[in-house]
Chains A and B, each alone.
Chain A
Amino acid sequence: ETGVTQSPTHLIKTRGQQVTLRCSSQSGHNTVSWYQQALGQGPQFIFQYYREEENGRGNFPPRFSGLQFPNYSSELNVNALELDDSALYLCASSPGTRVGDTQYFGPGTRLTVL
């Protein structure tokens, strides 16, 4: 068990709505990354937060935003949901920002947009 938890497990929203997904990192891990995994695809990097600041971002529009809190929890917010946002959203925590720091993934939140 990695110690990374995510909530909720499943979520159904309609197009145009907003959604907040939550992640609780392993204690002591200052870095959290979020990934989107569409059906039949590998995880795709959304962004990374380090000590409550965004310090890296993949090819995702600004309607994907995040927050990281001092208590090792974090959020992924998606505004103006589109049908293509339907996916498994994974968060991963690591002790630092180096590539060699192993990322520990949570089980994911399955988002369905109707």
Chain B
Amino acid sequence: DQQVKQNSPSLSVQEGRISILNCDYTNSMFDYFLWYKKYPAEGPTFLISISSIKDKNEDGRFTVFLNKSAKHLSLHIVPSQPGDSAVYFCAASVMGGGADGLTFGKGTHLIIQP
């Protein structure tokens, strides 16, 4: 039973345009969400996070939106750059449950086309 779902295995976006990556979750106990980026032969790298008390968090070109009622979050990248081509993982956790680890989705492979 997948508790964090990324339904798009891949996404192709033109350089300079907006990339929107989506993530859905089923466990209503989750209250902290993260996005990680992974290049081949490297470990995942933390990008941005959001807690359930917020509905938006911004860091430079990256913005994460959280819709708690829909159990949905999205990552917006504006403008998209060639170096953004990577696999993006959505992850979730319970704030008080750090020892429970992160629950990851399967990832979305973002391809930025020149």
Contacts and interface: CB of A to CB of B under 8 A. Distances in A.
B44 A105 contact: yes
Q: Looking at chain A, what size class is its interface with the partner chain? A: 20 to 34
Interface of A: 2, 4, 33, 35, 40-48, 50, 55-56, 58, 90, 92, 96-108
Given A58-B100, A99-B93, 16 more contacts: A43-B102, A43-B104, A45-B103, A50-B99, A56-B100, A97-B98, A98-B98, A99-B94, A99-B98, A100-B49, A101-B98, A102-B46, A104-B43, A105-B36, A105-B44, A107-B43
Nearest to A41: B106
Instruction: Describe A's contact surface by its main secondary structure.
Output: loop
For the side of the interface on B, what is the size category? 20 to 34
Contacts of A58: 100-101
B45 interface: yes
Given A33-B101, A35-B101, A105-B44, A99 B107 contact: no
Contacts of B104: 35, 42-44
Nearest to B89: A42
A90 B36 CA distance: 14
A105 B45 contact: yes
B4 interface: yes
Contacts of A98: 98
